[in-house]
Amino acid sequence: MPMTRAKIEKARKAALEFVARCELLLIKLDSNLTSQQYNSQEGKWESKEGKPAPHDHSWGSKESGALRRNSMDLTRTLADLRKSDF
């Protein structure tokens, strides 16, 4: 089962692209942490900063779709890396 330089470089490139897309989606999630809360004493809405949490999620954004697609590409590339040429 030879792991050729070309296969290794292709897998590395796919992995780096995956990590970059993860970072983009995490940035998007962090930008959505601000929520609005109604202050009944003052009769107005106020912004409240949230903190990152494990349950933060993205509903069908461009970034989450790209990450999902990239994860499938990475899976295929890693399978090719493990596959025998014989």
- Spatial separation of the C-alpha atoms in residues 44 and 25, rounded to whole Å: 31
Positive/negative CA dihedral, 18, 20, 23, 28: negative
Domain count, the chain: 1
Q: For residue 47, what are the domain limits? A: 5-82
Can you tell me which residue has the tokens 């900063």? 49
Query: Are 74 and 18 in contact, with CB atoms under 8 Å apart?
Result: yes
Query: Are 46 and 36 in contact, with CB atoms under 8 Å apart?
Result: yes
For 36, list phi and psi in degrees, rounded to 5.
-100, 135
In tens, the pLDDT along 73-86 reads 999 999 999 887 65
Can you tell me which residue has the tokens 């999620």? 57
Q: Is the pLDDT of residue 12 over 90?
A: yes
In tens, the pLDDT along 44-66 reads 777 667 777 777 777 778 899 99
- Mean model confidence pLDDT for the chain: 85
- Spatial separation of the C-alpha atoms in residues 30 and 51, rounded to whole Å: 8
pLDDT of residue 16: 98
Give the pLDDT band (50/70/90) at residue 67.
very high
